[in-house]
Structure 1
Amino acid sequence: MFISSQSSAPCFKDFTLVMPAVAVGNVGQLAVDLLVSTLNMSRVGYMHTDCLIPMAGNNPYGGCKEGAEELHTPAEVYTSAELKLAVLQIRAPIIRSKSKSFRQLLLSWIKSSGFARTAVLSSSHAYQRDDQQLQGAPLRFLMTPSLLRGSGEALKELGWTEMERSPAYPGLSDSEAEPRLSIPGGGITKGLYTDSCAEDVPLAVLLLFCSEGDNIPDAFTLINRLNDWLHLLDNPDAGNIKWKIPTSWSLLFGSGIPPALF
């Protein structure tokens, strides 16, 4: 359930929603961090649910003074009214037994809010790619039929590669079983996409094959691909886009090795 942090509930009608899937390497979450930090987006509320592991912390996008008195939660919503853009950042793992409930909560909120389209930033295990997925760039997309009808031409111009379906029984070329969609390590990505197809929700998945480790370069790759489509930071005179790294990334790998050890 969405809880507004303002005196009046924000209107998301015809906004674009961007959200991550909690997946391998946390690439989607890191990419969303870059988007919120660079656009200096305003927090307008949070999702109240028992489907996420509870946690709390200081402001991940401000300095020590800015975040000292602010409490932030596992799933928060940020907006940029000028761009008609909303972002749902998810910072905690989804409780496995409540994955379906969380997907239903998200779709219910997306439909009731009137979002024009939703972009899910996700990732999948690079080592589990099949032969055809080893070709070309490690980026893939999925789009529900309702969104594809309006964005098909734009995708052709971008030259994106759609996520391939894998054989139900690899190695059996004469199998009559339909190829299936498989996103290992993708968390709720597959379920959210199939649910959106069934409920006619305009939703796209932007996905990157990756491995666990330092996934900051993967986050930049993914957010640049999103910007190619949505043109959030387009400025022909600016050259390369300069994404703003949030202060919380300074602790991404801990606080360093204590000198006293040596």
Structure 2
Amino acid sequence: MEAVFIPSGNCCVSLKGYTLIMPVVSVGNVGQLAMDLIISTLTLPRVGYIHSDCLLPVVGNNPYATTPENSAEMCISSEVYASTDRKLAVLQIRSPIIQGKHRSFRQQLLAWIKESEFSKVVALSSSYAYHRVDKQLIGTPLRYLATPALQTIIGDKFHTLKWKELERVAAYPGISEEGQEIYIPGGGITKSLYSDSCTEEIPLAVLLIFCSEGDNIPDAFNLLSFLNEWMELIEKPSDQNTMTQAQWKIPSSWRLLFGSGIPPALF
């Protein structure tokens, strides 16, 4: 079965030339939290959803509800939001990939990306902080990867921003320092998605953060500020260090991010 993009309602949507931002289901769900903030802050309308047999089915109330009326709208496991003015599309994925179907989902995703003719794709991901090698322990926890096709488009943009590319590590540490490879533990399909995009000449950037499971909201804000340095989704302050969480709109669904409150009956 192929992944099928199904438009919402009767609208006919062409995403050709748009920039796609999407999460990779990874440690702490940081990419998905960042997607929530983008959709909520930019008030992006839903334009459709991806129908795939590779994701666990999920259904729930509108996570971006602003009124009692639109709170009853339904959301499912993978939905697409877009802004015509910004030429921006956002794919939100709310459920994990079914075991054994990671390769199929990756192929479906890349087929849809090529069919839609996006100008570039940005995947937000994360990796276990405790797996870092020595050279990754100093400085920022943020890293990037860019396919050759994307580097052709953006040139030395990431060097200008003074971003750090994800370091390659030894395939056999302690035995041989030769054979450097990309290593993204806890990153889900991040590595394979990047490798396939290189092979298929898809202009893809991976932005990731080293983190641990827990309250990953600060990590989401950190990753989003990293993305905003490049994409400028919201206006940057004159001093980048003064960017605060208040500039992003927290969706209503985050009130229950850690479950409901402690029942008073316990006391």
Question: TM-score over 0.5 for the alignment?
Answer: yes
User: Which of the residues 153, 160, 163 maps onto 1:160?
Assistant: 163
What displacement does 1:235 show?
Answer: 5.3
Query: Corresponding residue for 1:186?
Result: 187
| 2-structure distance, mates of 1:65, 1:126 | 40
What displacement does 1:236 show?
Answer: 5.1
| 1-structure distance, mates of 2:180, 2:99 | 26
Contact 1:55 1:74 in 2 (8 A): yes
Deviations 1:58-114 (A, max 9, x none): 100014613443111000000011111000000001112111110011101111101
Relative to structure 1, is the Cα distance of residues 237 and 170 closer, same or farther in structure 2, using a 3 angstrom cutoff? Answer: closer
Contact 2:236 2:243 in 1 (8 A): no
Residue 72 of structure 1 aligns to a residue whose secondary structure is strand
TM-score by length of 1: 0.95
Q: Which runs of 4+ in 1 moved over 6 A?
A: none
Relative to structure 1, is the Cα distance of residues 75 and 156 closer, same or farther in structure 2, using a 3 angstrom cutoff? Answer: same
| 2-structure distance, mates of 1:235, 1:183 | 30
Query: Corresponding residue for 2:248?
Result: 243
Contact 1:59 1:66 in 2 (8 A): no
Q: Are 1:230 and 2:234 an aligned pair?
A: no
Q: Are 1:55 and 2:63 an aligned pair?
A: no
Residue 250 of structure 1 aligns to a residue whose secondary structure is helix
Deviations 1:9-28 (A, max 9, x none): 21111100000000000000
| 1-structure distance, mates of 2:72, 2:36 | 20
| 2-structure distance, mates of 1:30, 1:194 | 24
Structure 1 portions without partners, runs of 5+: none
By percentage of residues, which structure has more strand? 2
Relative to structure 1, is the Cα distance of residues 66 and 189 closer, same or farther in structure 2, using a 3 angstrom cutoff? Answer: farther
Residue 97 of structure 1 aligns to a residue whose secondary structure is coil
> 1:34-53 counterparts in 2 under 5 A?
34-53=37-56
Contact 1:125 1:184 in 2 (8 A): yes
> 1:1-262 counterparts in 2 under 5 A?
1-63=4-66, 65-173=68-176, 176=178, 178-234=179-235, 240=243, 242-262=247-267
Paired letter, 1:250: R
Tell me how large the CA RMSD over aligned residues is.
1.6
Structure 2 portions without partners, runs of 5+: none
